[in-house]
Amino acid sequence: MAGEIDLVDRLVTAEHYRTDRATQLWAQYRTPAEMRSIQARRAAVVGGGRKRVVAQDGTDLGYDLQSDPLEQRPFDGLAIGYDVSVPTPRDAATGPVELDPAQIEALRSLGYVH
């Protein structure tokens, strides 16, 4: 059909540098044992039936989603072969970032600046 997109060979990535905020309320609804088993994810990349996840503590895990769809048999994430970008928080002491006019216009065209 016209306009369809084949996502089979596409990679999907996600990044989060403040996992402490995303997981703050988890402990209210989970047992200590559950909390120990949960690893907040800093970054992930998924595609081609494979998944690589880097947790908040630096653990780097890989999964073969075709043979292990429930992600119960992790292996070394480097073996996946996908690059993953783990963001680091910007030091607030560095102050505001100066933007040039082209950057401001690009942000305006995306609706971030009015």
For residue 63, being part of any structural domain is answered with: yes
Which range of residues forms the domain containing residue 62?
12-88
Question: Considering the entire predicted model, what is its pTM?
Answer: 0.56
For residue 96, being part of any structural domain is answered with: no
Give the 3-state DSSP-derived string for the chain, with helices as H, strands as E and coil as C. CCCCCCCCCCCEEEECCCHHHHHCCHHHHCCHHHHHHCCCEEEEEEECCEEEEEECCCCEEEEECCCCCCCCCCEEHHHHCCCCCCCCCCCHHHCCCCCCHHHHHHHHHCCCCC
For residue 68, being part of any structural domain is answered with: yes
Counting the structural domains of the chain, the total is: 1
Give the pLDDT confidence of 4-60 residue by residue, as tens digits. 655 556 767 666 655 556 566 767 777 777 766 666 667 888 888 899 988 877 888
Task: Please report the pLDDT score of residue 59 as a whole number.
Answer: 85
Tokens of 52: 């690589």
